[in-house]
Structure 1
Amino acid sequence: MNDQAMVVAARRTPIGTAGHGLAGVSVDRLLTPVLTAVAADAAIDSATDAVRVDDVVIGNCVGPGGNIARVGALAAGLGEDVPGVTVDRQCGSGLAAVLLAAQAIRAGDASLILAGGAESASTAPRRAYRAVQPGEPDSPYTRAAFTPPEYGDPDMGEAADALAAATGVTRERQDAYAAASHAKALAAREAGRFDAELVPVAGLRHDERPRPLRESVLARMPAAFVPGGSVTAGNSCPVSDGAAAVTMVSARTHPGRPGLRLVAGAVVGCDPRLPGWGPVPAVERVLSRAGVGIRQVAAVEIVEAFAGQVLAVADAIGLDALHRDAARVCPDGGALALGHPWGATGAVSVVRLFSRLVRGGAPAGTLGLATAAVGGGMGVAALFEVVR
């Protein structure tokens, strides 16, 4: 019988807008303090190795290359015998890292893994083609391809505009959702609901981004990606810096710990031209595997890359994210308000579920869902259950 994987600790850095509060902090230095924090929260004594960390699994998209998970593990003092692996599933990297850790635990290959994600858009290296060889492109490097050319390889903003148009999500709904995300985040910060999960870095103690927004101001913003389109800077996430991590353990070898048990996880593919649709089949798969419906899920964290994308996904899975289910969908605001450090945000979603449900006192059996869209046409989702 497969083991059960549980999240028993969850922390994150404040999220900084690229070029601002965390601009001088490299990605491994963003990661290190959250690894240290979740290790301490899980009562790991790395000096005596009383509880062994079997691995560190970290998501990252645009970092310097190499293995930042190993660098962070060493800098956090976890011990020279603790390895690390860095994974790239684009904007789903942090959540995918958590699922990979769970798979190792369920298979019996590990009993305790630190997993999460880190991104420093501010310090990401500029890349350039090497000396051009015959037959090679001579244009400057812009980004890695999400798809082969025949699939169109759309940028995320362009693809979000296409998804909003295809699903009939209006500009007015997008602006209303963006304003609501900021309002939720400001209320959560004022109420102290972020305090227990935050690890201060470089003097930054709170998320930089959330601010009061009026829909009337958002309505005046021009289209950002497609002429005449509905996606603007106001209803899109900002480029950001940050890191998040969780401690995931075997329920068999670490019994009696309150936390979030992973019920089901999935990564699926979808139309590469509409990558924002990916959470829909991913969520449908995890709910089917768990034998539950979306109405049974108390909290849903959708990575808010674009308001139009969140609304399209929420509509499709049966949630009214603006009205009836506003208190369930990103209840303390999401990436639109807090920021979107690409490789980390999926892990931030798990941290948010942990705070909302475990720290917040939800009863045993309460369900929480995290999901993200992924460049190239993929979706990742994870369903968790509160254990007391």
Structure 2
Amino acid sequence: MTADDRMPVVVAARRTPIGTAGGALRAYTVDELAAPVLRALLEDLDPGVAIEDVLLGNVFGPGGNPARVAALRAGLGEGLPGMTVDRQCASGLSAIVSAATAIRSGEGEAYLAGGVESASTAPTRTWPGGTTYTKAPFAPAELGDPEMGPAADRVAAEAGISRERQDEFAARSHARAVRAQRDGTFDAEIVRLGDVRTDQRPRDRFDAARLARFRPAFTEGGTATAANSCGVNDGAAAVLIVSERVRRSLGVPGLALRASATRGCAPALLGLGAIPAIRAVDHPHPCAVEFTEAFAGQVLACLDAVGLDEQRVSPDGGAIALGHPWGASGAVLVVRLFHRLVRCGHGTTGLAALSSGGGLGVAALWEVRR
């Protein structure tokens, strides 16, 4: 096959509704969240070739390789393996990039890849001796290993991102998500779970004036609040990614991965990891940009650094409004790009990017193929 034949292309993309931790999806374990999405992808478009593997990002699950468990629960057969990826918040996008790399290498031609998180059912973690903890070490303490919230406050302060600008960004995210829900924009990408068919978190009439009343959530005098930061959430998202040769044989449009990059930055400034990753993919003014909105100040610092207009990011709302199911969030970005660019025809190129714990960043540049 030629290099173009081995170009990785997403031909189907689905996700669950995103639930608030302890909310509508609280009873679903990680494999119970992911399995319906995997089934839906094959029901949407069975490529007629053997799926080589299932790759799923996951951060706080029970272990035991949730990707394999989800594949079995989905009825995909005992012969199909599974691999679980943990790159913290970037896990879902990293799983998709890993599947794409396997296609480029000629190892296989069809993969299911994405991510899943159930904060509601995540097990309690303890060190020997019984001390509980919620955050694993992201770096040696002497290099700086801050909690996410204080790190976001530092990043925003050093970048000169005002509280007012953060609140305006968050209010816009909610307004866009509420509008998209009302317009049915998400309907074709969401896999219904029981009676749950819509994202829980978006809030109507959440304007900047209302957001300004929230107090700093993490540090005294800080600018990150519960309203301009993401939530703790449950959800799953995945794609069917195949070689360009398979896509052509199917005669369907798709979203081709043109370039991707994974980079690191100082762990103490962990919210800035996306900056070197975006620069590495050399983004030529993409038509659509999806960036995981962990904290408004952190996102704005990254966008300013790489010269991306904040008004163009997450046109149907981002993680501040929709939620941030950690291991799934990077895959949600690709699902959103697929439906916006391929299904709805709103442009031909897209960028998915996010920062991750430990000072990491992943970016992926996509192009529509028809």
TM-score, reference length from structure 2: 0.96
TM-score, reference length from structure 1: 0.92
Q: Which runs of 4+ in 1 moved over 6 A?
A: none
**2:277 aligned partner:** 282
RMSD after superposition:
1.2
Structure 2: segments with no counterpart, 5+ residues? none
**Equivalent residues in 2 for 1:342-353, closer than 5 Å:** 342-353=326-337
**1:374 aligned partner:** 356
* Aligned with 1:311 (options 300, 305, 324): 300
Give me the whole-angstrom Cα distance separating, in 1, the residues matched to 2:259 and 2:135.
Answer: 33
> SS of the counterpart of 2:245?
coil
Structure 1 position 94, deviation (Å): 0.3
Give me the whole-angstrom Cα distance separating, in 1, the residues matched to 2:133 and 2:329.
Answer: 25
Give me the whole-angstrom Cα distance separating, in 2, the residues matched to 1:253 and 1:332.
Answer: 31
**2:221 aligned partner:** 228
**2:144 aligned partner:** 152
Give me the whole-angstrom Cα distance separating, in 2, the residues matched to 1:140 and 1:22.
Answer: 24
* Aligned with 2:316 (options 308, 312, 332): 332
* Aligned residues of 1:151 and 1:273 also touching (Cα < 8 A): yes
Tell me if 1:192 matches 2:184: yes
Tell me if 1:55 matches 2:53: yes
Q: Deviations over 1:24-52 (max 9, x none)?
A: 111110000000011111225xxxxx421
**1:47 aligned partner:** none
* Aligned residues of 1:25 and 1:202 also touching (Cα < 8 A): no
Q: Match of 2:118, as an amino acid?
A: S
Give me the whole-angstrom Cα distance separating, in 2, the residues matched to 1:307 and 1:125.
Answer: 29
* Aligned residues of 2:124 and 2:132 also touching (Cα < 8 A): no
**1:299 aligned partner:** 288
Q: Match of 1:374, as an amino acid?
A: S
**Equivalent residues in 2 for 1:189-268, closer than 5 Å:** 189-212=181-204, 213-255=206-248, 256-268=251-263
* Aligned residues of 1:362 and 1:386 also touching (Cα < 8 A): no
* Aligned with 1:34 (options 34, 37, 43): 37
Q: Match of 1:240, as an amino acid?
A: N
Q: Match of 1:312, as an amino acid?
A: A
Structure 1 position 139, deviation (Å): 4.2
* Aligned residues of 1:207 and 1:338 also touching (Cα < 8 A): yes
Q: Match of 1:30, as an amino acid?
A: L
* Aligned with 1:104 (options 99, 102, 105): 102
Structure 1 position 202, deviation (Å): 3.0
Give me the whole-angstrom Cα distance separating, in 2, the residues matched to 1:386 and 1:191.
Answer: 24
Give me the whole-angstrom Cα distance separating, in 1, the residues matched to 2:132 and 2:346.
Answer: 51
Give me the whole-angstrom Cα distance separating, in 2, the residues matched to 1:146 and 1:64.
Answer: 19
* Aligned residues of 1:118 and 1:343 also touching (Cα < 8 A): yes
Q: Deviations over 1:148-180 (max 9, x none)?
A: 111221111111111000100000000000000
* Aligned residues of 2:274 and 2:355 also touching (Cα < 8 A): yes
* Aligned residues of 1:271 and 1:377 also touching (Cα < 8 A): yes
**1:182 aligned partner:** 174
Tell me if 1:273 matches 2:273: no
Q: Match of 1:9, as an amino acid?
A: A
**1:354 aligned partner:** 338
* Aligned with 2:309 (options 304, 315, 320): 320
**1:80 aligned partner:** 78
* Aligned residues of 2:270 and 2:356 also touching (Cα < 8 A): yes
* Aligned residues of 1:266 and 1:282 also touching (Cα < 8 A): yes
Give me the whole-angstrom Cα distance separating, in 2, the residues matched to 1:35 and 1:376.
Answer: 29
* Aligned residues of 1:221 and 1:232 also touching (Cα < 8 A): yes
**1:94 aligned partner:** 92
Structure 1 window deviating more from structure 2 (150-159 vs 341-350): it is 150-159
* Aligned residues of 1:268 and 1:282 also touching (Cα < 8 A): yes
